């Protein structure tokens, strides 16, 4: 989907630009992200599912896209991602249902629209 491709392109361009600018804060953030999502007591898949729920609550489309894709790459199923989105809806209330609409678009792109 064109919208998702544009979000990915903007995210990648900003990532490259910040690295090219040698942003020490951004490099520290990237290192923190790598440490956070590495397998530990929780496998990466579960950490990504937590991040999906949080992304829905804070209404961050780029975050939802990134973490849904990363969860899928880490072995999460469509149904597991859906439950993470549902946790976000419960935690965020009515406004989170609007965020969940975007998450569903990403899920269909990532997993295919094979679900009813």
Alpha-helical (H) ranges within 21-111 are: 24-37, 44-58, 61-73, 78-92, 94-111
Q: What is the pLDDT of residues 15-31, one digit of tens each?
A: 999 999 999 999 999 99
In a domain, 116, yes or no: no
What is the number of structural domains in the chain? Answer: 1
Each residue's pLDDT tens digit, 34-69: 999 998 999 999 999 999 999 999 999 999 999 999
- Domain hosting residue 36, numbered range: 2-111
Residue with token string 């009813």: 116
Is there a domain that residue 51 lies in? yes
Quick one: average pLDDT of 94-107? 92
Nearest residue to 3 (alpha-carbon basis) of 77, 109, 115: 109
99 in a domain, yes or no? Answer: yes
What CATH code is carried by the domain that includes residue 61? 1.20.1290.10
Q: Is 70 a member of any domain?
A: yes
Determine the pLDDT at residue 114: 63
């Amino acid at each position: 989907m064109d919208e998702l491709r544009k979000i990915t392109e903007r995210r990648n361009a900003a990532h490259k630009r910040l690295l090219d600018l040698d942003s020490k804060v951004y490099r520290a953030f990237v290192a923190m992200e790598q440490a956070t999502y590495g397998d530990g007591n929780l496998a990466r898949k579960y950490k990504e599912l937590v991040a999906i729920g949080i992304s829905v609550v804070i209404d961050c489309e780029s975050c939802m896209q990134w973490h849904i894709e990363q969860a899928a790459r880490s072995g999460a199923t469509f149904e597991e991602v859906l439950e993470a989105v549902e946790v976000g809806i419960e935690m965020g209330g009515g406004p989170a249902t609007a965020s969940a609409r975007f998450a569903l678009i990403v899920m269909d792109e990532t997993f295919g629209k094979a679900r009813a």
